[in-house]
Amino acid sequence: MKIAALQMVSGAHVLGNLATARRLLERAAAEGAELALLPEYFSALGLHERDKLALAETPGKGRVQDFLARAAQDLGLWIVGGTLPLVCGDAQRVRNSSLAYSPQGRCVARYDKVHLFRLEHGSEQIDESRTIEAGCAPVQFPLEDRAGHTWCVGLSVCYDLRFPEFYRLHAAAGADLLLVPAAFTWTTGSAHWEVLLRARAIENQAFVLAAAQGGRHENGRRTWGQSLLIDPWGEVLGALPEGVGLVLADASPARLTQVRSQLPALGHRVF
């Protein structure tokens, strides 16, 4: 199955970001992708931390959700919409949610980011808990590809990547493809991004597809980029260092079986 990670440099204006996302989705479909993953905050990376509150949508209703459903149906793609803000019970916070759509345009899964990022690094001061309400559990969904193989897809977002026990829960549920939409900072991405992604692939013997924000944003923030597809042995199959574009490569069930049979580490777990 061909899968694509779509890399963006999202700004503060939703319509412009959606236009860019649509072009990338069309390109992915034209190149034979069956699944396309958008980055975290693909629809808007605001000028101020609280901008996301005004952009929050009601689950099942809203411009960005309509966009994702229509694009999936128009293009015959499985689309995982990076993240977008969804309203929650707290008027001062939102959920940072990843939504998965089938080629029929139906939302088949929702994952709310569990681990909330905080960084104090010189002038970089980020604390997601000020505007985001954390989710509480990992989520998987089944994806049947055009060849009839059913994949168990595990959803995650950005900072989740630092918590291996979270991905062990995906592995225990049978996940063989892990999705990581992200907006890693330049500081943390340059130090940790690729090594963390490869570790999650190796230790869980799963494909990892990571779609990143990658460049200098309208709000002055710089994100790391380096969208990647990694196989269960930890081999990087495709990468895009920076800027707008996509990474497209094959995820093979045969490769998954090969790695898990030649080194059956998942079956050797003691704890």
Active site residues: 40, 113, 158
User: In whole angstroms, what is the distance from residue 190 CA to residue 224 CA?
Assistant: 7
User: In whole angstroms, what is the distance from residue 15 CA to residue 210 CA?
Assistant: 24
Query: Token digits for 95?
Result: 């959920």
User: In whole angstroms, what is the distance from residue 152 CA to residue 175 CA?
Assistant: 5
Which residue type does 105 have? G
3-state secondary structure of 141: strand
- The upper half-sphere exposure of residue 111, i.e. CA atoms within 13 Å in the direction of its Cβ, equals 29
- Give the Å distances, CA to CA, from 96 to 46, 144, 158: 14, 26, 11
Contact between 211 and 37 (Cβ < 8 Å): yes
User: In whole angstroms, what is the distance from residue 63 CA to residue 37 CA?
Assistant: 18
User: In whole angstroms, what is the distance from residue 171 CA to residue 154 CA?
Assistant: 8
Contact between 143 and 135 (Cβ < 8 Å): no
Which residue type does 56 have? A
Contact between 197 and 230 (Cβ < 8 Å): yes
